[in-house]
Amino acid sequence: MFGILRYLLALLVAINHLWFDRWYGFYAVFGFYLLSGYLMTLVLTTTYAASWDGLRRYFGNRALRIYPAYLAFAFLGLSLAALEPELARGVHRAIFVPEAPLDWLKNLSIFGLLNYRPPRLVPPAWSLHVELVFYVLMGLGLSRWRSGALLWLGASVAYTGYLLQTGADWQARYFSVFAASLPFSMGAVLCHFRAHLAAWADARLAIAAVVAFLVNTLWADHLWGWVEGQGFYASLVLVLASVACLASLDPSQAPSWLRRCDRWLGDLAYGVFLCHYAAAIAVRWLFGGHLGEGLALLAASVGGFHLLAWLGYVLVERPVGGLRDRLRPARRPVTPPARAGSDTDSG
């Protein structure tokens, strides 16, 4: 039951971007990476065979999960940038109409979108570039077998230690593909040891782990002397604990209202992540460009980005889900069986 967690991570990103530039989004993005490492390893070991047909189905399913909604919101961003260029760049400096063919190609393919190189019609899409790189590497075998995942984790820990030891800047420790190897590999190894998670099967423990992550995220400046170091890596451990606890739960034992809430919020999460800047531009236009930044912008935009996320799910993601179902083969029996809950991003 990962839907609520995914929604909370997306909401933290939106709060970070629209209210004030703090560390909330940093912690949330690495949380997304860790969850993706778990889920992609899960589907690769339970659903997609290590064959050309398995790879074709896996990559096709990943493409249908990422691109349709992304392209829909990229078109929305392009329209807003063309109609209200000053408002768009006022909300985020990277939102403007691309001119160079290479910039068009990057915005259409996602690959090559980097945080420090505008334009980006969907500003957070730089992290989708990172996700796609690891989707490819994991599909090619990086996390399919336990021994490989453990070696990957060891190399990731060593690289992170090297960055810290040499005083690498934040750009290298957060925005780079290599830095993201740590949370992805943590999620992958957790998945391979999911048979040992039965001791964590307690709903109260899962709630406590998620709450601890949120507390660490919201008050890291009071808890740690270095929010981009101690607090940042502590958040990874707390996300790991959250995913471990949630993965251990049997969703059939949860109340029906909680299962519906988990699925509904999970369905909104990707859209919230993609569209909150577009909603902020539209809201500023409705206020004649006079709406300020900070809490006022977030409060005025929150209804808008939830509405856009719901429309994106209903009009784009849900219809595409039928194509994804046709690509997804029947689950192969594995030992041990996974009890990952009703996450909407797996497969």
At 332, the pLDDT band (50, 70, 90 cuts) reads low
Q: What percent of the chain has pLDDT over 90?
A: 84
**Total-model pTM:** 0.93
| pLDDT for the residue numbered 294 | 82
> Distances from the Cα of 116 to the Cαs of 10, 30, 175, 337, 344, in angstroms?
21, 18, 9, 42, 31
> Distances from the Cα of 92 to the Cαs of 121, 122, 237, in angstroms?
10, 10, 31
> How deeply is 214 buried, as exposed, middle or buried, from its count of CB atoms within 10 A (0-12, 13-18, 19+)?
middle
**pLDDT tens digits, residue range 161-172?**
999 999 999 999
Residue with tokens 């991570």: 9
> Distances from the Cα of 232 to the Cαs of 26, 173, 212, 217, in angstroms?
8, 10, 13, 8
> How deeply is 243 buried, as exposed, middle or buried, from its count of CB atoms within 10 A (0-12, 13-18, 19+)?
buried
pLDDT at 319 over 70: yes
Q: Is residue 21 helix, strand or coil?
A: coil
| pLDDT for the residue numbered 333 | 45
**pLDDT tens digits, residue range 2-30?**
999 999 999 999 999 998 777 899 999 99
Q: Please give the Cα distance from 62 to 111 (Å, whole number).
A: 14
* Phi-psi sector, 289: left (phi>0), alpha (psi -120 to 50), beta: left
Identity (one letter) of the amino acid at 241? A
Pick the closest to residue 33 from 249, 244, 185 (CA basis).
185
Task: Give the count of beta carbons closer than 10 Å to the beta carbon of residue 63.
Answer: 14
* pLDDT, the chain, mean: 92
Q: Is residue 312 helix, strand or coil?
A: helix
At 345, the pLDDT band (50, 70, 90 cuts) reads low
Residue with tokens 């190897």: 181
> Distances from the Cα of 24 to the Cαs of 13, 18, 294, in angstroms?
7, 11, 14
Q: Please give the Cα distance from 130 to 326 (Å, whole number).
A: 27
| pLDDT for the residue numbered 338 | 40
**pLDDT tens digits, residue range 274-314?**
999 999 999 999 988 777 778 889 999 999 999 999 999 99
> How deeply is 90 buried, as exposed, middle or buried, from its count of CB atoms within 10 A (0-12, 13-18, 19+)?
middle
Identity (one letter) of the amino acid at 154? G
At 118, the pLDDT band (50, 70, 90 cuts) reads confident
